Amino acid sequence: MTSDVGPEGDPSMTAARSWKVRVYVTLKQGVLDPQGRAVENALRVLGFTEAADVRVGKYIELGLKAPDREAAAGRVAEMCRRLLANPVIEQYRYDVIEGDA
C-alpha cells in the first residue's frame, strides 16, 4: 500500500522535487526611484556618463520543494503577492529551475 501523503501529512508534498527559484522585483514604471537616481548620479561622477535611466530592484533566490514546475510557480507567485513584492508600486518576475533547493 502506498501513501498519498507526503512529509508531515502534507499531500502537496507527495513526490516533491527540488526547485531553485530566482525572483526579480523592480519598481513599476512611473514610480520614482530615488535610489536609482543616486546610483545614476554616482556613475556620472565616476565618468560613466553614458549611464541613463538607472532603476534599482531586489533579487531573491530561494529553494523550494514542489511536485512539479507549475506547483512551484504557483507557490512562488503567492509568495511574491503576499510578501516579496509590494503590488502597489512593484512588479516581479521569476524563474523556476529544476535542481537543488
Q: Using CA atoms, how far apart are residues 73 and 33, in angstroms rounded to an integer?
A: 28
**Considering the entire predicted model, what is its pTM?**
0.79
| Domains of the chain and any CATH numbers | 12-98 (3.30.1280.10)
Average pLDDT for 28-42: 97
* Bridge partners of residue 96, in order along the sequence: 21
If DSSP codes are grouped into helix, strand and coil, which group holds residue 21? Answer: strand
Q: Using CA atoms, how far apart are residues 25 and 33, in angstroms rounded to an integer?
A: 13
Name which of 4-8, 19-23, 75-79 the model is least confident about: 4-8
Per-residue pLDDT at 8 exceeds 60: no
CA-closest candidate to residue 89, choices 44, 38, 25: 25
Q: Using CA atoms, how far apart are residues 60 and 101, in angstroms rounded to an integer?
A: 13
Neighbours of 22 (CB within 10 A): 14
